[in-house]
Amino acid sequence: MIVAQPKPVKEVADYIKECAKVLVVGCSGCTSVCLAGGETEAEILATALRILRKKQGRPLETLVTTITRQCDPEFVAGIAEKVSQVDAVVSLGCGVGVQFLAEHYPDKWVLPALNTVFAGGTVQAGLWEERCGLCGDCVLHLTGGICPITRCAKSIQNGPCGGSQNGKCEINPDTPCAWHLIYEKLSALGRLDLMLEYRPAKDWSKERSGGPRLVQRKDAEL
Protein backbone atom coordinates (compact mmCIF):
# COMPACT_ATOMS: atom_id res chain seq x y z
CA MET A 1 0.00 0.00 0.00
CA ILE A 2 0.93 3.65 -0.23
CA VAL A 3 1.98 4.83 3.22
CA ALA A 4 1.41 8.43 4.21
CA GLN A 5 1.78 10.62 7.28
CA PRO A 6 -0.31 13.58 8.41
CA LYS A 7 1.11 17.02 7.85
CA PRO A 8 1.15 19.25 10.96
CA VAL A 9 -2.36 20.64 11.53
CA LYS A 10 -1.05 24.20 11.52
CA GLU A 11 0.46 23.67 8.06
CA VAL A 12 -2.89 22.51 6.69
CA ALA A 13 -4.64 25.35 8.53
CA ASP A 14 -2.28 27.77 6.83
CA TYR A 15 -3.22 26.40 3.39
CA ILE A 16 -6.88 27.22 4.03
CA LYS A 17 -6.49 30.42 6.05
CA GLU A 18 -8.54 32.43 3.53
CA CYS A 19 -11.39 29.88 3.39
CA ALA A 20 -14.68 30.00 5.28
CA LYS A 21 -15.86 26.52 4.37
CA VAL A 22 -13.85 23.48 3.36
CA LEU A 23 -14.52 19.87 2.45
CA VAL A 24 -12.25 17.37 4.19
CA VAL A 25 -12.07 14.19 2.11
CA GLY A 26 -10.80 10.96 3.60
CA CYS A 27 -9.83 7.91 1.55
CA SER A 28 -10.84 4.34 2.46
CA GLY A 29 -7.90 2.94 0.51
CA CYS A 30 -4.24 2.83 1.52
CA THR A 31 -4.19 5.95 3.69
CA SER A 32 -7.03 4.54 5.74
CA VAL A 33 -5.08 1.33 6.37
CA CYS A 34 -1.96 3.21 7.47
CA LEU A 35 -4.16 5.28 9.84
CA ALA A 36 -3.35 8.57 8.17
CA GLY A 37 -6.35 9.43 6.04
CA GLY A 38 -9.42 7.30 6.76
CA GLU A 39 -12.81 8.26 8.12
CA THR A 40 -11.55 8.80 11.69
CA GLU A 41 -8.52 10.82 10.62
CA ALA A 42 -10.72 13.00 8.39
CA GLU A 43 -12.99 13.75 11.36
CA ILE A 44 -10.00 14.41 13.62
CA LEU A 45 -8.45 16.83 11.13
CA ALA A 46 -11.74 18.64 10.50
CA THR A 47 -12.31 19.02 14.25
CA ALA A 48 -8.73 20.18 14.81
CA LEU A 49 -9.01 22.76 12.01
CA ARG A 50 -12.29 24.06 13.45
CA ILE A 51 -10.75 24.31 16.94
CA LEU A 52 -7.79 26.29 15.59
CA ARG A 53 -10.04 28.69 13.74
CA LYS A 54 -12.39 29.03 16.69
CA LYS A 55 -9.36 29.99 18.78
CA GLN A 56 -8.51 32.66 16.21
CA GLY A 57 -12.07 34.00 16.37
CA ARG A 58 -12.68 33.15 12.69
CA PRO A 59 -14.88 30.04 12.73
CA LEU A 60 -14.40 27.53 9.95
CA GLU A 61 -17.21 25.45 8.56
CA THR A 62 -16.33 21.94 7.49
CA LEU A 63 -17.97 19.18 5.53
CA VAL A 64 -16.42 15.76 5.99
CA THR A 65 -16.71 12.78 3.70
CA THR A 66 -14.69 9.67 2.97
CA ILE A 67 -14.68 7.98 -0.40
CA THR A 68 -13.75 4.43 -1.33
CA ARG A 69 -10.64 5.41 -3.30
CA GLN A 70 -9.46 8.87 -4.25
CA CYS A 71 -7.36 7.35 -7.06
CA ASP A 72 -10.48 6.28 -8.94
CA PRO A 73 -12.44 8.83 -11.02
CA GLU A 74 -15.80 7.18 -10.42
CA PHE A 75 -15.52 7.68 -6.65
CA VAL A 76 -14.04 11.16 -7.02
CA ALA A 77 -17.02 12.14 -9.20
CA GLY A 78 -19.43 11.08 -6.48
CA ILE A 79 -18.72 14.06 -4.22
CA ALA A 80 -19.42 16.81 -6.79
CA GLU A 81 -22.37 18.20 -4.86
CA LYS A 82 -20.31 18.59 -1.67
CA VAL A 83 -17.35 20.05 -3.56
CA SER A 84 -19.63 22.70 -5.06
CA GLN A 85 -20.50 24.00 -1.59
CA VAL A 86 -16.98 24.80 -0.37
CA ASP A 87 -14.09 27.20 -0.94
CA ALA A 88 -11.44 24.46 -0.90
CA VAL A 89 -11.02 20.71 -0.64
CA VAL A 90 -8.57 19.15 1.82
CA SER A 91 -7.57 15.65 0.77
CA LEU A 92 -6.40 12.91 3.10
CA GLY A 93 -5.54 10.72 0.14
CA CYS A 94 -2.02 10.06 -1.04
CA GLY A 95 -0.46 12.32 -3.66
CA VAL A 96 -2.45 10.45 -6.30
CA GLY A 97 -5.74 11.19 -4.55
CA VAL A 98 -4.96 14.90 -4.28
CA GLN A 99 -4.14 15.04 -7.99
CA PHE A 100 -7.23 13.11 -9.06
CA LEU A 101 -9.43 15.45 -7.01
CA ALA A 102 -7.65 18.51 -8.43
CA GLU A 103 -8.02 17.21 -11.98
CA HIS A 104 -11.66 16.30 -11.58
CA TYR A 105 -12.57 19.65 -10.00
CA PRO A 106 -10.37 22.06 -11.99
CA ASP A 107 -11.97 25.21 -10.58
CA LYS A 108 -11.49 24.12 -6.97
CA TRP A 109 -8.45 24.62 -4.76
CA VAL A 110 -7.43 21.10 -3.63
CA LEU A 111 -4.89 20.78 -0.82
CA PRO A 112 -2.93 17.88 0.65
CA ALA A 113 -3.29 17.04 4.34
CA LEU A 114 -0.75 14.20 4.17
CA ASN A 115 2.81 13.65 3.11
CA THR A 116 2.97 10.54 0.96
CA VAL A 117 6.00 8.59 2.12
CA PHE A 118 6.46 5.20 0.47
CA ALA A 119 5.07 1.93 -0.83
CA GLY A 120 5.24 -0.46 2.07
CA GLY A 121 3.39 -2.63 4.52
CA THR A 122 2.42 -3.06 8.15
CA VAL A 123 5.31 -4.85 9.88
CA GLN A 124 3.55 -4.67 13.24
CA ALA A 125 0.53 -2.78 14.57
CA GLY A 126 1.39 0.89 14.34
CA LEU A 127 4.59 0.39 12.34
CA TRP A 128 4.92 0.56 8.55
CA GLU A 129 8.03 -0.08 6.53
CA GLU A 130 9.04 0.71 2.97
CA ARG A 131 9.30 -2.44 0.89
CA CYS A 132 9.03 -1.45 -2.78
CA GLY A 133 10.94 1.15 -4.76
CA LEU A 134 8.52 0.97 -7.72
CA CYS A 135 11.53 0.43 -10.02
CA GLY A 136 9.44 -1.17 -12.74
CA ASP A 137 11.78 -4.16 -13.12
CA CYS A 138 11.31 -6.47 -10.14
CA VAL A 139 14.27 -8.59 -9.08
CA LEU A 140 12.69 -10.33 -6.08
CA HIS A 141 12.89 -13.71 -7.87
CA LEU A 142 16.68 -13.41 -7.66
CA THR A 143 16.96 -12.14 -4.10
CA GLY A 144 14.83 -14.48 -2.04
CA GLY A 145 11.97 -12.00 -1.87
CA ILE A 146 14.08 -9.24 -0.31
CA CYS A 147 14.17 -5.96 -2.23
CA PRO A 148 17.68 -4.55 -2.62
CA ILE A 149 16.30 -1.30 -4.05
CA THR A 150 14.45 -0.24 -0.91
CA ARG A 151 16.15 -2.24 1.80
CA CYS A 152 19.70 -1.38 0.83
CA ALA A 153 20.49 2.29 1.52
CA LYS A 154 22.54 2.41 -1.68
CA SER A 155 20.13 0.26 -3.71
CA ILE A 156 23.11 -1.89 -4.61
CA GLN A 157 22.37 -4.72 -7.02
CA ASN A 158 25.40 -6.89 -6.27
CA GLY A 159 26.10 -6.10 -2.64
CA PRO A 160 26.83 -6.06 0.16
CA CYS A 161 29.00 -2.96 0.22
CA GLY A 162 32.01 -2.48 2.47
CA GLY A 163 29.86 -0.77 5.10
CA SER A 164 28.01 -3.92 6.06
CA GLN A 165 29.00 -4.86 9.61
CA ASN A 166 27.72 -7.83 11.58
CA GLY A 167 24.68 -8.02 9.34
CA LYS A 168 23.81 -4.35 9.85
CA CYS A 169 23.95 -1.35 7.56
CA GLU A 170 26.51 1.39 8.15
CA ILE A 171 23.85 4.08 7.99
CA ASN A 172 22.07 2.78 11.07
CA PRO A 173 23.01 -0.08 13.41
CA ASP A 174 19.30 -0.99 13.67
CA THR A 175 18.90 -1.42 9.92
CA PRO A 176 19.68 -4.90 8.66
CA CYS A 177 22.00 -5.09 5.66
CA ALA A 178 19.71 -6.07 2.79
CA TRP A 179 22.39 -8.15 1.12
CA HIS A 180 23.17 -9.94 4.37
CA LEU A 181 19.46 -10.80 4.57
CA ILE A 182 19.49 -11.90 0.93
CA TYR A 183 22.54 -14.12 1.51
CA GLU A 184 20.98 -15.69 4.61
CA LYS A 185 17.68 -16.28 2.82
CA LEU A 186 19.21 -17.78 -0.32
CA SER A 187 21.46 -19.90 1.85
CA ALA A 188 18.46 -21.23 3.81
CA LEU A 189 16.65 -21.94 0.52
CA GLY A 190 19.70 -23.70 -0.94
CA ARG A 191 19.80 -21.17 -3.79
CA LEU A 192 23.16 -19.45 -3.28
CA ASP A 193 23.83 -20.28 -6.95
CA LEU A 194 21.70 -17.22 -7.76
CA MET A 195 24.38 -15.00 -6.24
CA LEU A 196 27.02 -16.43 -8.57
CA GLU A 197 25.04 -15.85 -11.76
CA TYR A 198 26.33 -13.18 -14.12
CA ARG A 199 23.52 -10.80 -14.97
CA PRO A 200 23.28 -7.75 -17.20
CA ALA A 201 22.99 -4.39 -15.51
CA LYS A 202 19.53 -3.63 -14.16
CA ASP A 203 17.27 -1.82 -16.60
CA TRP A 204 16.74 1.50 -14.83
CA SER A 205 14.91 2.94 -17.86
CA LYS A 206 11.74 1.46 -16.40
CA GLU A 207 12.20 3.54 -13.26
CA ARG A 208 10.29 6.80 -12.75
CA SER A 209 12.96 9.29 -13.81
CA GLY A 210 11.60 9.16 -17.36
CA GLY A 211 8.42 10.96 -16.37
CA PRO A 212 5.06 9.44 -15.44
CA ARG A 213 4.79 5.83 -16.51
CA LEU A 214 1.64 4.30 -17.97
CA VAL A 215 0.21 0.84 -17.66
CA GLN A 216 -2.37 0.00 -20.28
CA ARG A 217 -4.80 -2.90 -20.68
CA LYS A 218 -6.73 -2.68 -23.94
CA ASP A 219 -9.11 -5.42 -22.85
CA ALA A 220 -10.14 -3.38 -19.81
CA GLU A 221 -11.13 -0.33 -21.84
CA LEU A 222 -14.82 0.53 -22.07
Partner 1 sequence: MGDFKPQIIAFCCYYCAYAAADVAGSLRLQYAPEVRVIEIPCSGRVDPVVILKAFEEGADGVYVAGCLEGDCHFLKGNIRARKRVEYIQKILSELGIEPERLAMYNLSGAQGDRFAEIADEFTARIKKLGPSPVKVGDSL
The residue ranges that bind partner 1 (CB under 8 A) are: 8-10, 40, 43-44, 47-48, 50-52, 54-57
Q: Given the complex with partner 1, which of 43 and 72 has the nearer CB atom?
A: 43
CB 89 within 8 A of CB 22: yes
CB 116 within 8 A of CB 109: no
CB 25 within 8 A of CB 42: yes
Q: Given the complex with partner 1, which of 58 and 191 has the nearer CB atom?
A: 58
What's the closest the beta carbon of residue 20 comes to partner 1, in angstroms?
17
Q: Given the complex with partner 1, which of 6 and 93 has the nearer CB atom?
A: 6
CB 90 within 8 A of CB 44: no
What's the closest the beta carbon of residue 134 comes to partner 1, in angstroms?
30
- The number of beta carbons lying within 10 Å of the beta carbon of residue 90 is 29
Torsion sign across C-alpha atoms 148, 149, 155, 158: positive
Cα–Cα distance for residue pair 130/128, rounded to 1 Å: 7
Closest CA to 92 of 2, 204, 175: 2
Q: Given the complex with partner 1, which of 62 and 116 has the nearer CB atom?
A: 62
Cα–Cα distance for residue pair 132/121, rounded to 1 Å: 9
Q: Containing H/E element for 189?
A: helix 178-189
- The number of beta carbons lying within 10 Å of the beta carbon of residue 55 is 8
What's the closest the beta carbon of residue 14 comes to partner 1, in angstroms?
11
CB 103 within 8 A of CB 117: no
What's the closest the beta carbon of residue 11 comes to partner 1, in angstroms?
10
Q: Given the complex with partner 1, which of 54 and 199 has the nearer CB atom?
A: 54
Q: Given the complex with partner 1, which of 122 and 155 has the nearer CB atom?
A: 122
What's the closest the beta carbon of residue 131 comes to partner 1, in angstroms?
25
